[in-house]
Amino acid sequence: MLRGGSTTAFLCEEQSKFIYDRIAIVEKHFGELCEAFAEYTRKVARVRDKADELAHATQDYCDAEKYNGTLATALSSLAKAVTLIGDFHDCRVKRLETRIVSELGQYETVCKQCKDGVKEALQGRDKDLAKRKQLEQSKPRNSRGARRNANDTEMIKSTLEVEKSLKGIETFVERFEKQKLRDVKELLLNFVMIELKMHAQAVEVLSATYQDISDIDESKDLQGVHKELKRQNRQFKKYLQRDTIPDRYFLQRIKSQSMGALNATLAGFSAGRKNKSLSSNSLNSSQEQEPEQAVDQQVAQRSTTRRINRTAVQQSIESLDSMKRDLSTESKSSSDDDDDDDSEISETETDDQSDTHVKHPRVGGPSGSSETGKKSQVDTSFKIIKLKDYKP
């Protein structure tokens, strides 16, 4: 039984303060936990997004790497591992949001409902206490018999109502505390299991990736780059040779053409010198047939030039060594004919000059020697013909 008004008020105030403090502590710290877990979830979501960026960057590097085979394999493995870890983080974020943050966010409503329930219970308690106090004050001091018994009965009922109210408040607070403890335990276990599951999967994936990265063969990858450099150097050398060889072939072609034309000209002059026997009569007759012979010589010279050009083209396709041998052979043949053709070249130059006297070569015999001293004027278009081509 409660006795004394001041004592009863003190006890009621103390009980109310304790209950409200418990609810306030739960409301405050659960709110802070909810904010902290929400911020943690947002950070994990950012880590998930950054993991996706890291996976993309690693995969791009893997695709760009063409010569380091083992490095490309390790990068591909790392990209897959980071992608899987990003997926694990995504599941982690969803679980944190549904099992942790949302549950903690509901406790604001739970605490509010608990406050309302406690307030009603305390109001009922205070009402019962006030009724009991009123009965105590209205109790007759000298009453006897039935009236006193009725008053005692009302006092007993009032006391029972107060005790019932106190029991209800106690039950309500215990139920609140029990629910809080059960929820906190479940939330913390869920958080730990979420983290363990995520990190266990990450450890499994990263262990395989660690082995792939350890298998990077530095010497093998370096050899791949070295081979590529060697191949490029060979191509560069081929390109340089392709640029220089045409110039050498061009020079050899010019030399072969010039030497061939010179040999043909000198051979024609030497053959004309050896086979012709000029006299005054042959000179006169050759002047009459000069146009026809000039045309024949031009045609023969053109055909000879074409033949020489074709030969030079064929020689330019051959290898450099064979061309050198051909050049040396032609040089020897040209040197043998140079001595025989010097006088013939001088006679040809004198024939091209206008209003000049021609000295006839010695044919042999007294008639030839007598005609050597004679001077005669000839046409500027005069050319020497071969004796076998002469037709009187």
pLDDT on residue 120:
79
pLDDT on residue 361:
41
Same domain, 200 and 232: no
Same domain, 16 and 60: yes
Same domain, 53 and 194: yes
pLDDT on residue 13:
74
The mean per-residue pLDDT over the stretch 91-108 comes to 91
User: What does the pLDDT look like over 40-50, one tens digit per residue?
Assistant: 999 999 998 99
Closest CA to 92 of 202, 174, 13: 202
In a domain, 343, yes or no: no
The mean per-residue pLDDT over the stretch 206-231 comes to 89
Same domain, 86 and 202: yes
What whole-number percentage of the chain has pLDDT above 70? 58
In a domain, 336, yes or no: no
| pLDDT band (50, 70, 90) for residue 192 | very high
Residue 82: pLDDT above 80? yes
CA–CA gap between residue 102 and residue 183 (Å, rounded): 12
Rama region for 378: left / alpha / beta (φ>0; ψ in -120 to 50; rest):
beta
In a domain, 192, yes or no: yes
The mean per-residue pLDDT over the stretch 84-91 comes to 92
Give the end of a domain, one of 215, 230, 256: 215
The mean per-residue pLDDT over the stretch 367-383 comes to 45
In a domain, 386, yes or no: no
Average per-residue pLDDT for the chain: 72
Residue 306: pLDDT above 50? yes
CA–CA gap between residue 202 and residue 214 (Å, rounded): 18
pLDDT on residue 210:
94
Give the end of a domain, one of 203, 231, 246: 246
Same domain, 83 and 207: yes
Domain span at 237: 218-246
Number of domains forming the structure of the chain = 2
Residue 151: pLDDT above 80? no
Same domain, 195 and 225: no
Give the highest mean pLDDT range of 40-44, 327-331, 376-380: 40-44
Same domain, 28 and 80: yes
| pLDDT band (50, 70, 90) for residue 1 | very low
The mean per-residue pLDDT over the stretch 283-309 comes to 67
In a domain, 293, yes or no: no
CATH code assigned at 61: 1.20.1270.60
CA–CA gap between residue 361 and residue 277 (Å, rounded): 8
Residue 65: pLDDT above 80? yes
Same domain, 61 and 210: yes
In a domain, 82, yes or no: yes
The mean per-residue pLDDT over the stretch 237-263 comes to 60
Give the highest mean pLDDT range of 116-125, 258-267, 276-285: 116-125
What token pair was written down for 378? Answer: 């000839």
Q: For the chain, state the CA radius of gyration.
A: 63
Same domain, 78 and 223: no
pLDDT on residue 56:
93
Which residues face 377 on adjacent strands?
357
In a domain, 233, yes or no: yes
Same domain, 112 and 88: yes
pLDDT on residue 313:
58
In a domain, 70, yes or no: yes
User: What does the pLDDT look like over 340-364, one tens digit per residue?
Assistant: 544 444 444 444 444 444 344 443 4
* pTM of the full structure: 0.54
Of 75-89, 218-232, 355-369, which range is least confident? Answer: 355-369
Query: What HEC string does the chain produce?
Result: CCCCHHHHHHHHHHHHHHHHHHHHHHHHHHHHHHHHHHHHHHHHHHHHHHHHHHHHHHHHHHHHCCCCHHHHHHHHHHHHHHHHHHHHHHHHHHHHHHHHHHHHHHHHHHHHHHHHHHHHHHHHHHHHHHHHHHHHHCCCCCCCCHHHHHHHHHHHHHHHHHHHHHHHHHHHHHHHHHHHHHHHHHHHHHHHHHHHHHHHHHHHHHHHHHHHHHCCCHHHHHHHHHHHHHHHHHHHHHHHHHHHHHHHHHHHHHHHHHHHHHHHHHHHHHHHHHHCCCCHHHHHHHHHCHHHHHHHHHHHHHHHHHHHHHHHHHHHHCCHHHHHHHHHHHHHHHHHHHHHHHHHHHHHHHHHCCCCECCCCCCCCHHHHHHCCCCCECCCCCCCCCHHHCCC
Residue 252: pLDDT above 70? no
More confident residue, 184 or 299: 184
